[in-house]
Chains A and B, each alone.
Chain A
Amino acid sequence: MLEGSARKELIDIAQSARIFAKDELRQRIADGAIGVFWIFLAPLLQLAVFYFVFVELFQARSAGVNNYLVFLSIGFWPWLAFSETVVRCTPLLVEKAGIAGKVRISRIGMFTGVAFTSFSFHVAGFVLVLLVLSCWGEVTISTNWLLLPILWAALFAFSFSIAIIFSLLNVFIRDTARIVGLFLTLWFFTTPIFYPASSLPSFSSNLQAYNPLGVIIAINRDLVQGREVSSLSSPSIILICSAFALAVFLYRRVRFELEEFS
C-alpha cells in the first residue's frame, strides 16, 4: 500500500495529466477550421504529399527499397511522433509556469498529459496511414502487427524521456528550446528515414546501432512489412533505457526547484 502523501501525489499527477491531455486535444482541434476532422485529414494529406512528390514528381527509387511510398511513410511517422512530442514539450514547463504559479497542478502530470496527446495524435495518424496502405494493397496485415503497440510504447517512453530532459534543461538554460530545433534537424538527416541504412557508408551504417530512433524506425518497417526483425541492437536498447534513467534522475534532482526557476 502506498503512503498517504505518495498516494495523494499520484492522484494529483493523474488528475493533471488527464486535464492537460484533454486540454491539449481541445486546443489542437479548436485551432483548426475543421475541428476534429483534422486528426484524420492531416495524415491523409501528408500521405498525399509524399505520393505526389516522391512517386509522381520525383519517381523516387532507392536501392533495396521495393515501394518507396511505403518505405517513407512507415519510417516518417515514428519520427513525426518523436520530434513533435519533443518540440511541443521542450518549452512546456516554462510556458505553463503562469498557471502553475497560481493554481495547484502537478507539473509532471501536466507534462505527461501534453506529451501523451502530442504523441497520440501521430499514433492515430500512423494507424490511419496503415489502414490506407493496406486498403491500397501496399502492405499486408500480419501477426507481426501485434508487436507494434510494444514498439510504439517504447518510442513514447523514449520521446517522453528526451522531451523531459530538454524541458528540464530549458527551465535552467533558456537557450535549450532554440538548440532543440537544430539538434532535431541533425538527428532527422542522420536517421534513415528518406534513405535506407544500407545506402550509407559502412562507418555511418555501423553508427546506426547507436541511434535509437534509427533502430525503432527499422523495426517498425520490419514489423509492418511482415519481415523478421533484424535491427534490434543492444546499444540502442541501452541508450533508450539510459535516456529514461537520465530523465528520472534529472527530474528527481530538480523537481522542487521548478516552481522557482520556471
Chain B
Amino acid sequence: MSHELLVEVRGLSKAWAAASSPGQRAAALLRLMLGMRLHRKETLVDVNLDVYRGQSLGVIGSNGAGKSTLLKLISGLLHPTTGSVVVRGRVGALIELGAGFELERTGRENLYISAALHGIDTRTLAELIPEIVAFADIGEYIDEPVKHYSSGMVVRLGFALISALRPDLLITDEVLAVGDESFQRKCIRWIEDYIAGGGTLLLVSHSTYHIQKLCKHALWLKDGRVQAYGDVFSVTQDYLAFHEHLSRAASDSEKETPSQNEYRVDHVRINGLDDEKILLSEPSVQCEIALRSPDGRPPRLGWGLVRADGTAIYGAVSDMHEAQPIALPEGFVYSLDVDLLALLPGQYTLRFHAMDPEGIRMYDTVERFLTLRGSTRELGLVRVPHKWKSGCPSA
C-alpha cells in the first residue's frame, strides 16, 4: 500500500427526501421550485474515510445501513447532502449487481456505451472485447439483448468489462453474491491479482468470508454511521458478534432471570478485573467467583461458555470435578482457570450460576463477555486439531 491518498471522504452525509407517493412527489417539486427545503431522512451520517492506493477495504453492515449509498457517493453517482468526496483516479464501479446495462440492447452494444462512459474509445474496446467475452464466458450471447441474460450473466459481463478497464479504484457491491462457484473463484482470483498489482478495492459484501479473504481493512456501517473501522478481522468479528447478540436477544426475549435469589453470585472477577466486557490478549482466563449463601452451606457453582449468539460450547458444575470453594466470612469463593486456546476468534460469553448445595436448582446467573482477537480465516467455533498430508494420494 502506498501513501498516495486515492479517496478522501470528509463529513459525508446523505439524506433522502421522504417522498414516495405521487402526491408527495408533486409537493416536493413545488417546494423545490419555491426554494423550500424538503423533508429528508438521513441515510449516511458524518462519514470520514481515507483510502490509500493499494488498500483493500471491505464495507459491511446490515441492509439499509448505507453501504450502497456510500459507494454511490464515492463513485460520483450521488451528490452528498453535506460533506465532500474527493477521488483521485479512475473509478470502475459495479453497483447493485450491474454495470448500468440497458435490457433491450445487446451485450456488445451495452459494452460500447459503458466503455465510452468509462473513457475507453471504440478502437480500444474492440481490442478488449474478446478478452471481456472470454472472461464473462457468455459466448454468442454477447450479441443477444441483455433481457435474455440470466442475472449471473449480467454480473459476469459487468465484472468482465470493469476488469478489462483496470481502474485505479475498483468498487464492487455484492458482485460475489451472484454467479456460480466457478465465476466467483474467477472473480476472487482476479481481484487478488488486481490488489497484488497495486489496485485499490472497495468491496461491499454480506459475506464476511469474502471480506476477510480480499480485504485488509473493513468499515462497519450501522444506521448510516461508522460503527467500526480498522483491521478486517477485528471489525468483521465485532460485526458477527453484534449479529450473534441480536439473534440471542431475540431468542432470549421471553426469558427473564429473577433478580432476587437465595443463593446468588456476589461478584465475578476475570483476570483480576470486575469489567463486564473483556478483550483478551491471551487465550486464557482466570476467574474468581464469589457466591452468597443464605444458610452458610457452600453453594455449587455452575459455569458455561457460549458463543455470543447463545450456542453452547461447554458447561460444567463444580461437583463434577469435586471443586470446593474457599469459605470466607462474607461467602464462598471459587477459583477457575479456563484455557481458551481451542476457540476461534470471536465474541463469547462466560456464564456463572449460583446453585444450591445439592446442585438441583439454579438460583442466579452472571455473565461476562469475552472478545477473542485473531487473524485467522478458519471457520466455526473451535479449532479442531488436524493435520494436512502433502504429496500424492495413497494408491
Given contacts A23-B113, A256-B79, contact A102 B25 (CB under 8 A): no
A173:B25 contact, CB within 8 angstroms? yes
A259:B77 contact, CB within 8 angstroms? yes
Within 8 A of B (CB), among A247-262: 250, 253-254, 256-257, 259-261
A153 within 8 A of B: no
B100:A169 contact, CB within 8 angstroms? no
Given contacts A102-B93, A173-B25, A259-B79, contact A254 B32 (CB under 8 A): yes
Q: Mark A81-106, 1 if CB is under 8 A from B, else 0.
A: 00000000000000000111111110
**Alpha-carbon separation in the docked complex, A256 to B99 (Å):** 22
Majority SS of interface residues in chain A?
A: helix
Instruction: Give A98 Cβ to nearest chain B Cβ, in Å.
Output: 6
A172 within 8 A of B: yes
B17:A260 contact, CB within 8 angstroms? yes
**8 Å CB contact of A98 from B28, B32, B100:** B100
Given contacts A99-B100, A260-B16, contact A169 B117 (CB under 8 A): no
A19:B78 contact, CB within 8 angstroms? no
How many A residues have CB within 8 A of the partner chain?
Answer: 27
How many B residues have CB within 8 A of the partner chain?
Answer: 36
**Alpha-carbon separation in the docked complex, A16 to B114 (Å):** 11
B215 within 8 A of A: no
**Alpha-carbon separation in the docked complex, A22 to B113 (Å):** 9
**Alpha-carbon separation in the docked complex, A254 to B30 (Å):** 10
The chain A residue with its CB closest to the CB of B94 is A102
A104:B26 contact, CB within 8 angstroms? no
The chain A residue with its CB closest to the CB of B80 is A256
Chain B hits for A16, CB < 8 A: 117
A174 within 8 A of B: yes
A104:B77 contact, CB within 8 angstroms? yes
B17:A102 contact, CB within 8 angstroms? no
Instruction: Give B324 Cβ to nearest chain A Cβ, in Å.
Output: 68
Chain A hits for B76, CB < 8 A: 104
B262 within 8 A of A: no
A104:B22 contact, CB within 8 angstroms? no
Chain B hits for A169, CB < 8 A: 29
A102:B113 contact, CB within 8 angstroms? no
**Alpha-carbon separation in the docked complex, A173 to B116 (Å):** 31
Q: Mark A3-31, 1 if CB is under 8 A from B, else 0.
A: 00000000000011001001100100010
**Alpha-carbon separation in the docked complex, A26 to B122 (Å):** 13
B25:A103 contact, CB within 8 angstroms? no
Interface centre among A30, A102, A104, A257 (most CB of B within 10 A): A102
**Alpha-carbon separation in the docked complex, A178 to B118 (Å):** 34
A254:B113 contact, CB within 8 angstroms? no
Chain A hits for B28, CB < 8 A: 172, 257, 261
B96:A102 contact, CB within 8 angstroms? yes
Chain A hits for B79, CB < 8 A: 256, 259
Instruction: Give A210 Cβ to nearest chain B Cβ, in Å.
Output: 24
Chain A hits for B276, CB < 8 A: none
Within 8 A of A (CB), among B70-94: 72, 75-79, 91, 93-94
**8 Å CB contact of A19 from B17, B25, B93, B116:** B116
Instruction: Give B17 Cβ to nearest chain A Cβ, in Å.
Output: 6
Instruction: Give A149 Cβ to nearest chain B Cβ, in Å.
Output: 29
**8 Å CB contact of B29 from A23, A173, A259:** A173
User: What are 14 A-to-B residue pairs whose CB atoms are below 8 Å?
Assistant: A15-B119, A98-B102, A99-B101, A100-B100, A103-B93, A104-B93, A172-B26, A172-B29, A250-B33, A254-B32, A254-B33, A256-B79, A257-B17, A259-B78
Interface residues of A (CB under 8 A from B): 15-16, 19, 22-23, 26, 30, 98-105, 169, 172-174, 250, 253-254, 256-257, 259-261
Question: Across chains A and B, which 10 residue pairs bring their CB atoms closest together, nearest first?
Answer: A102-B100, A99-B100, A172-B29, A104-B76, A103-B100, A19-B116, A103-B117, A172-B25, A253-B32, A256-B79
